[in-house]
Amino acid sequence: MTDGEMPDQLLGGRYRLDERIAHGPLGEVWRAYDQQADWPVAVRTVEPGVDAVTRGRVTRRARTLAAVLHPNVVTVLDVGERYVVMEHLSGESLAEVGAPLPAEQARAILLQLVAGLDAAHRGGVVHGDLKPADVRKAGSGVFKITGFGLAGDGLPLPDELAAPESPYQAPEQRGGDTGRAADLYALGAIAFELLTGQPPAGRSAGSSAGVPSTGDRAVPADSGDLAGVPVELRRLVLALLAADPTARPSLAAVRQALAPHQDTAVLPQLGTGVHSGAGGTTPLSQTAIFDSEPADPVDRPDRRMLVQLGIALALIVVATAVFALWPRGGDGQEALPEPTPTAEVTPTETAEPTPTPTPTPTPSSTPATTPDSPVQQIPAQLQDGPPGGWGEFVGRLHEAVGIHEGRGEIDPRVADKAHRGFDKAIERLREGRTDKGVAELQKTAAELAKARDRGEVPPTGPLADLLDRFGLW
């Protein structure tokens, strides 16, 4: 399709291509309109000349990404034979935000990127070519990761698709190794640019700014450019930019380090731990410390005494319960249940009936569901399914949690657990097990309610609105 040329018909019978916004070796990206759903979308087309093998890779990649439902990952809405339909993101990209940013603002954005990358990786999707232009703001205000090409699908790229070297590529990518660790390096490079206004490898090798060369690639060697950044954030950025991919922290560790109100006094010192791997025990690099939980800074004797007392009380309760429920037997053998006596009743009897003892409950008389059963009653608001369908509803729950994450209003561990619960619910719903799916939603909502009572989840906002509106908490 040449510049300015419009298609003669709707793609898939519903997508009208309005404006071409990007193009590349495989095809073009269009701002389009879904006439069936009545909303704008983005459509990536695949050129007719692209070989069948590459087309198959594009299709498989898109279908895998479509299963990732997260507020910080672009949503794939449809996959056709030669096109992929995604949500349209009209906001600015990170390349346009005007770095450097204040540390707290950069931290809030990075938390969203960590959440998105974590969801993608758990869904089996590696980006492989992440850069600021691939992070774009949605209408809700959250940032979403987009630009998932073929770089992260684990197969060699055709020569015409090889991306030029960029400061966001990890050193190992020069040898064709594009894995999850490469996404972590890209995250560190983006963080470096958000905090300093320029990418880490933006200077020539061996410059006086502290960016010497490793081989023929410039990588940051110290924190000279990050002098005004809080110490824990500076450590984290340099950790992500480690030349050794195995030395970079995990996404869970990065999220912990980025969490608001982090107590830097209890962060382990760099290089003080050990990492046990296949080759034995080796010293930790300066990045591996983020994989450990902060230790309790004070181990007080009265704290230990209370713990021991609690354990003792728990043992007493368990022993009492076991004794009360243990079957009685005269000779040490298990006692057989005695038959339940029943009153003798004749057909002609009209006198006051003899009281009949209450029968002993049997498994068959137990109700099929109880208040503690994992299958709960579906709230009335969800009996016919939520507006837009279950996929959109759970996606909105993900997005609501993501909004609070971006604002630093929700505990990161609670947010991660909520995302996992919502993912499990959508799996059950897709299997057609609506009762199980709603039960998972109710379970996750109940955990969020407890976290709200502990002050770890805001009592108001988009998440509370959704859970209140549909009677989930």
pLDDT for 362 equals: 43
What single-letter amino acid sits at 336?
L
pLDDT for 317 equals: 53
**Any catalytic annotation for residue 51?**
no
Strand ranges (E), 98-253: 135-137, 143-145, 213-214, 217-218
Q: What is the DSSP letter of 211?
A: B
Quick one: tokens of 138?
Answer: 């949605």
pLDDT for 442 equals: 92
Say which of 129, 183, 225, 423 is annotated catalytic.
129
pLDDT for 363 equals: 42
Quick one: tokens of 469?
Answer: 């509106």
CATH 1.10.600.10 fits 90-291, yes or no: no
pLDDT for 431 equals: 82
Quick one: tokens of 214?
Answer: 């490793």
Strand ranges (E), 106-242: 135-137, 143-145, 213-214, 217-218
Residue of 69, 24, 80, 177 lying closest to 419 (CA atoms): 69
CATH 3.30.200.20 fits 1-88, yes or no: yes
| SS3 (DSSP) at 79 | strand
Residue of 377, 378, 374 lying closest to 386 (CA atoms): 378
Buried b (16+ CB within 10 A) or exposed e, 415-439: bbbbbebbbbbbebbeeeeeebbbb
pLDDT values of the chain reduced to their tens digit, one per residue, 473 residues: 544 455 557 899 999 999 999 988 899 999 999 999 999 999 999 999 999 989 999 999 999 999 999 999 999 999 998 999 999 999 999 999 988 999 999 999 999 999 999 999 999 999 999 999 999 999 889 999 999 999 888 888 777 777 678 899 999 988 878 889 999 999 999 999 999 999 996 433 333 333 333 333 444 444 557 888 999 999 999 999 999 999 999 999 999 999 854 433 333 332 222 232 333 322 222 222 233 333 333 333 344 444 455 555 555 555 555 445 554 444 444 443 444 444 444 444 444 555 555 444 444 333 343 444 444 577 777 777 777 678 778 877 887 887 888 788 899 889 889 988 988 888 888 788 888 989 999 999 999 999 999 999 999 988 998 898 888 88
pLDDT for 312 equals: 56
pLDDT for 292 equals: 31
Residue of 191, 166, 181, 170 lying closest to 113 (CA atoms): 191
pLDDT for 314 equals: 59
Residue of 10, 16, 63, 74 lying closest to 395 (CA atoms): 74
Residue 458: count other Cβ atoms within 10 Å of its Cβ.
14
User: Is there a contact between 101 and 157 (Cβ–Cβ < 8 Å)?
Assistant: no
